[in-house]
Chains A and B, each alone.
Chain A
Amino acid sequence: MSEELLKVLKAAGLDVLSCMHCGTCTGSCPSGRHTGLNTRRIIRDARKNRATVLSDDALWLCTTCYTCQERCPRGIPITDALLELRRLAVRKGFMLPEHRRVSEMVLECGHAVPLDEETKKKREELGLDPIPETVQKYQEALEGLKILLKTCKFDELVAEK
């Protein structure tokens, strides 16, 4: 069996092996009360190097509220580990279409939520400049940001595979 999951977590300084399966994480999870997210199971699957955890949609039901991490009696950085697993999942090509769209927004205009006409009007009503003092106003800054994203190969990472 590949040791990939544990290796990746260990390399990031995230030790999940001390988990004693008490279930405090799952019991504390605001998402798990309403959704199929079972945090303890994700940690267990990661410990067992089960690659299926990466394709499991439940990985994307965590709101990253950090309650499990704060309450873990063993002090396991659970949310940080879950984020590490997400990054591995993305490298393997598992990404929701909505999240690709958010990524494309940043690649295009430097914002996950770009300015729209309705907000421009609202800004003017408030006496604010319709275009805020962000990268949206400065073409040169936007070009720089695009170069930075390309340097990180973010466009390749989030492109449909």
Chain B
Amino acid sequence: MAKLSLFLGCIVPNRYPGIEKATKLCLQKLEVDASDLPGASCCPAPGVFKSFDKATWLALASRNIALSEKMERDVLTVCNGCYGSLADANIELKKDPEMKACTNTCLKEIGMEFKGTAEVRHIIEFLYREFGPEKLKGCITTPLDLKVALHYGCHLIKPSKDRNLGETEAPVFFDELVEATGAKSVDYTDKMMCCGAGGGVRSGHAAESLEMLEHKLACIRNAGVDCIVNACPFCHLQFDKGQLAVNEKFGTDYSIPVLHYSQLLGLALGFSPDELGIEQNAVQNIEFLAKIYEISAGLR
């Protein structure tokens, strides 16, 4: 198994540190060699920076990858946006020598070089490929009696030509990882639909972004689940903070807890909800918290 550096991005360390903590605890427990990546910046966010200027997008992404190359480690992301940005930039630069040379001209200004020696991984595809659901199941100490609405998010699996994770209409690999924790991944209408945050829509067109989110939340509520599970802190933020904004805008009363997969896995590996930062979410659902405390105390 390759050695990794944990790429944090923006939203994990700066808004949802519980995801950072949960990821570190899980990786330690699973004996994955993952170090910090000191000095990393914004990936940069693909929906906006890739939409503004390609040279800047590639320069910032390659700088982050180059930091990891220097440590002789592959980059591990816990965010679909960071994964989309860094993995796509990595692929483009590796296959296009002219673009690589051009990007390296910029990096040279700060004494850095993109060599193309590191891979970019996403924690979900990493766990699926390097562990697999069965092996992961063997590591679980606290099986979770939870019904989950799983949200894959977009850039984990798309564009599919470079992801090699199978088809995108009804994938199952992430569901299998969820079910390895003992939880049940419940099917729901428009499961593969975007959360509405990406592409600069959440920042640039907040009202429209919330319309998309409201639709998604309505579908999830109809499925009767305990919580939403995602693999992307930007989707996480949209579902969590966005839920309160939806309630305000539409007069609804959604109170659906939101967990990053690292937090779900953390519970199943025996860590408590407060160690994993689950209580720091904007959505405060007392019933759910009581339930997961009971589960982690072995009372259910």
**A residues at B contact (CB < 8 Å):** 30-31, 33-35, 60-67, 69-70, 77, 79-80, 83, 86-87, 90, 95-96, 98-99, 101-103, 106, 110-116, 119, 122-123, 125-128, 132-135, 137-138, 141, 144-145, 147-149, 151-152, 154, 157-158
Contacts and interface: CB of A to CB of B under 8 A. Distances in A.
Contacts of A125: 280
Contact of A64 (B40, B47, B208): B47
A65 B198 contact: yes
Contacts of B51: 64, 83, 86-87, 90, 99
Interface residues of B, number: 66
A61 B201 contact: yes
B26 to A, nearest CB: 14
Nearest to A37: B208
Contact of A157 (B52, B190, B275): B52
Contacts of B160: 70
A143 B82 CA distance: 22
A113 B10 contact: yes
Nearest to A130: B17
B41 A151 contact: no
A102 B11 CA distance: 13
Contact of A106 (B38, B44, B63, B192): B44
A112 B10 contact: yes
Contact of A111 (B41, B52, B200, B280): B41
B1 interface: no
Contacts of A64: 46-47, 51, 154-155, 198-199
A135 B207 CA distance: 32
Most chain A CB atoms below 10 A, which of B37, B40, B275:
B40
Given A30-B212, A31-B212, A151-B106, A112 B158 contact: no
Contacts of B59: 148-149, 151-152
Contact of A34 (B17, B45, B106, B212): B212
A65 B154 CA distance: 5
Contacts of B18: 122, 126
A148 B14 contact: no
Most chain A CB atoms below 10 A, which of B53, B196, B197, B277:
B53
A70 B47 contact: no
A119 B17 contact: yes
Contacts of A141: 38-39, 41
Considering the complex of A and B, which 9 residue pairs feature the smallest CB-CB distances, nearest first? A132-B13, A141-B39, A66-B158, A64-B199, A65-B194, A110-B41, A113-B10, A144-B110, A34-B211
Contacts of B197: 63
B21 interface: yes
B205 interface: yes
B141 interface: no
